[in-house]
Chains A and B, each alone.
Chain A
Amino acid sequence: MARMSRGQKAFSLFNYLFLSVLGLSMILPILHVIAQSLSSNAAINTGKVFFLPVDFTLSNFRAVVGEKLIWRSFGVSVFVTLFGTLLNLAMTALLAYPLSRSEYLYRKPVLIFVLLTMIFTAPLIPNYLLVKELGMIDSLWSLMLPGAISAFNLFVMRSFFMALPGELIDSARIDGCGEMRILWNVIMPLSKPVMATLGIFYAVGHWNSYASALYYINNRQLYPLQVRLREFIITDSSTINAPAQDAVLTSPEGIKMAVVVVATIPIMLVYPFLQKHFTKGVMVGSIKS
């Protein structure tokens, strides 16, 4: 590389500074929230809390942990995320695999049939009435079944399957494998990367979504965590009563922020593992078929 000119040096310096500030703007708000959740009522109210806890206290978290409904919602979210993601991957793979095989006649019509659903989407009410007719209102199925396959992910998975060497399928067939065995014992073990990537996208989607629960769930016992969190944030008064010994230290803001932290912890825990996968996933997704 050639030596940098003065202008380039100035630009480079500016660039590093600017991007550092930008990076901080992503991190500091999150730190602020964590700091508030760990600070006392008095410290929050006098505006002393910035990015580190002031008057460190766990009382906000104790209040949240003592709340049964939050645990219930946490459980609902975990359940929907786990089983929803499994259902997503199974349903997507079951259709993506046949569509990746040239032996499957009518591939084109089926692909167009799927593609059309990406272009024409029905408004909310007909969707709602369908879920209602199927008897899934106030059932966790309504959070998993209507979104079981994402057409976009289906195309991503299909192009992954198509990139696998066809000889594998041939040799498996010569060894006497049926189609089911081929899918389960040959294709699936090779498909871990795409399953991991799409699994992450599906799982994050389930964990973060609250619209479908808002539409289809009326029973407060079945609220996922995000809906409960929304209640906390929007109804300005905290409905949590702190344990008596903590009453002085807890604050509505502190409790709210503690719930925010609780709702984010699972994502933060898996984020380091996600990162190496999702960049690849976006690349796969960018391949046009």
Chain B
Amino acid sequence: MAQSTVPQTASSPIPVRKTPRDRWSNFRKYKALYLLSIPGILYFLLFKYVPLLGSVMAFQDYSIFKGYLGSPWVGLAHFERMFQYPDFLRILKNTLLLAFYSLGIGFPVPIILALLLNEIRRMFFKRTLQTVLYLPHFLSWVVIGGIAIEILSPRTGIVNNILTSLGFDSIYFMGENSYIRTILVSSGIWKDAGWGTIIYLAALTGINPDLYEAAEMDGASRWRQTLSITIPAILPTVTILFLLQIGHFMDFGFERVLVFLNTLNSQNGEIIDTYIYSAGLLDRQYSYTTAIGLFKSVVGLVLIVSGNWLSKKMTGEGLY
């Protein structure tokens, strides 16, 4: 065909008429493209969609010997059991509390930090500081857990050494329910606050400097400029990130909590993810914990949909 010698640009495609013959010739011509995409598509089918279908076991009394097809259906029994279980209500409360704390405290921190960093004029200081602030993000939760447990250790930890030298009693921070949530939330902030500033700093550099000059002419103070120029400028970024966070509201992080959890603090520290691991995988209550997992996913989905709806209503900004 004469047409096939005409180069096609990736950016402005020749309009494809969707007759079956055209499709077929497109398939033949770009066979390689379609073949390349097969492994990836198979990956998502096998590792994402198959387990998703497998979630039906939440409505079964799943037994590994009978499989998905042979296990008896029990309807919502596992979900009912869930809400009657004091253990479940306790971990739900922990999960929600930790989620609220990390959203309420953890979310604004990078924004404030980015605003403060933005005021730094000495580039060397700023660069060094950024390097240091990003660093904890790259440490594993086990390493961070190890550092925190060591620092808070009642006998050899630096915090208690300072406390005792000031005449206070040493505190066994990891061994009490009352400290675990604070430790979990603050270690998360320590790890990711600096990292979180990157995206806000990028939004801040996108602001037109003329705006500040004009404001200065009009006699606006720096604080005034921050309120009227900087904050409105980064608000869209803030909204998007907030919505993304809402979607992961209940994902406090299995790896994060498990390093800090022990029998003395699990009353207040255990969350849905660690419960699913211990009750589901270790105690093999497969269907029951899958029901819990499904419940968690549905809550997440409801949150993101309603958050998006609300934000579109109020700011016109949304994820989709």
Q: Are B290 and A126 in contact (CB under 8 A)?
A: yes
CB neighbours (8 Å) of B46 from chain A are 130
Pick the interface stretch among B35-43, B86-94, B98-106: B35-43
**Given contacts A117-B49, A120-B301, A282-B202, A110 and B41 within 8 Å (CB-CB):** yes
**Given contacts A19-B120, A36-B150, A104 and B33 within 8 Å (CB-CB):** yes
Q: Which one of A7, A47, A264 contacts B156 once the chains associate, using CB atoms below 8 Å?
A: A47
Tell me whether A244 is interfacial, beta carbon within 8 Å.
Answer: no
CB neighbours (8 Å) of B119 from chain A are 11-12, 15
CB neighbours (8 Å) of A110 from chain B are 37, 41
The binding surface of chain B is classed by DSSP as helix
- What is the chain A residue whose CB lies nearest that of B49? A117
Q: Which one of B13, B39, B292 contacts A91 once the chains associate, using CB atoms below 8 Å?
A: B39
Pick the interface stretch among B134-142, B176-184, B227-235: B134-142
How far apart sit A87 and B26, CA to CA, in the bound complex (Å)? 29
Tell me whether B277 is interfacial, beta carbon within 8 Å.
Answer: yes
Pick the interface stretch among A62-70, A189-197, A203-211: A203-211
Q: Are B151 and A29 in contact (CB under 8 A)?
A: yes
Tell me whether A98 is interfacial, beta carbon within 8 Å.
Answer: yes
Nearest CB on B from A92, distance (A): 8
Q: Spell out A's residues near B (CB within 8 Å).
A: 2, 5, 7-8, 11-12, 15-16, 18-20, 22-23, 25-27, 29-30, 32-33, 36, 44-45, 47, 49-50, 91-92, 94-95, 97-105, 110, 113-114, 117, 119-130, 145-146, 148-149, 151, 154, 162, 166-167, 169-171, 173-174, 178-180, 183, 204, 207-211, 214-215, 226, 229-230, 232-234, 253, 256-257, 259-260, 263-264, 267, 271, 274-275, 278-279, 282-283, 286
Nearest CB on B from A41, distance (A): 10
The binding surface of chain A is classed by DSSP as helix
Q: Considering residues A47, A100, A183, which has the most beta carbons from chain B within 10 angstroms of its beta carbon?
A: A47
CB neighbours (8 Å) of A286 from chain B are 199, 202
Q: Are B286 and A125 in contact (CB under 8 A)?
A: yes
Tell me whether B238 is interfacial, beta carbon within 8 Å.
Answer: no
CB neighbours (8 Å) of B273 from chain A are 124
Q: Are A19 and B116 in contact (CB under 8 A)?
A: yes
Tell me whether B48 is interfacial, beta carbon within 8 Å.
Answer: yes
- A-contacting residues, B103-143, CB 8 Å: 113, 116-117, 119-120, 125, 128-129, 131-136, 138-143
Tell me whether B72 is interfacial, beta carbon within 8 Å.
Answer: no
Q: Spell out B's residues near A (CB within 8 Å).
A: 7-13, 16, 23, 26-27, 29-34, 36-37, 39-41, 43-44, 46-55, 57-58, 64, 113, 116-117, 119-120, 125, 128-129, 131-136, 138-143, 145-151, 153, 155-156, 158, 161, 164-165, 190, 194, 198-199, 202, 216, 221-222, 254-255, 258-259, 262, 273, 276-277, 280-281, 286, 289-290, 292-294, 296-297, 301, 304
CB neighbours (8 Å) of B30 from chain A are 101, 103-104, 179
CB neighbours (8 Å) of A282 from chain B are 198-199, 202
CB neighbours (8 Å) of A44 from chain B are 156
Q: Considering residues A16, A171, A257, which has the most beta carbons from chain B within 10 angstroms of its beta carbon?
A: A16
How many A-B residue pairs have C-beta atoms within 8 angstroms? Tell me: 278
How far apart sit A272 and B57, CA to CA, in the bound complex (Å)? 47
CB neighbours (8 Å) of A97 from chain B are 33, 36
How far apart sit A104 and B148, CA to CA, in the bound complex (Å)? 51
Q: Which one of B11, B259, B280 contacts A125 once the chains associate, using CB atoms below 8 Å?
A: B280
**Given contacts A233-B146, A260-B143, A126 and B52 within 8 Å (CB-CB):** yes
**Given contacts A44-B156, A105-B16, A166-B10, A233 and B138 within 8 Å (CB-CB):** no
Q: Are A170 and B7 in contact (CB under 8 A)?
A: yes
CB neighbours (8 Å) of B150 from chain A are 32-33, 36, 253, 256-257, 260
How far apart sit A255 and B34, CA to CA, in the bound complex (Å)? 53
Q: Are A103 and B32 in contact (CB under 8 A)?
A: no
Q: Are A179 and B10 in contact (CB under 8 A)?
A: no
Nearest CB on B from A127, distance (A): 5
Nearest CB on B from A86, distance (A): 14
Q: Are B202 and A183 in contact (CB under 8 A)?
A: no
Q: Considering residues A126, A130, A208, A267, which has the most beta carbons from chain B within 10 angstroms of its beta carbon?
A: A126
Nearest CB on A from B232, distance (A): 19
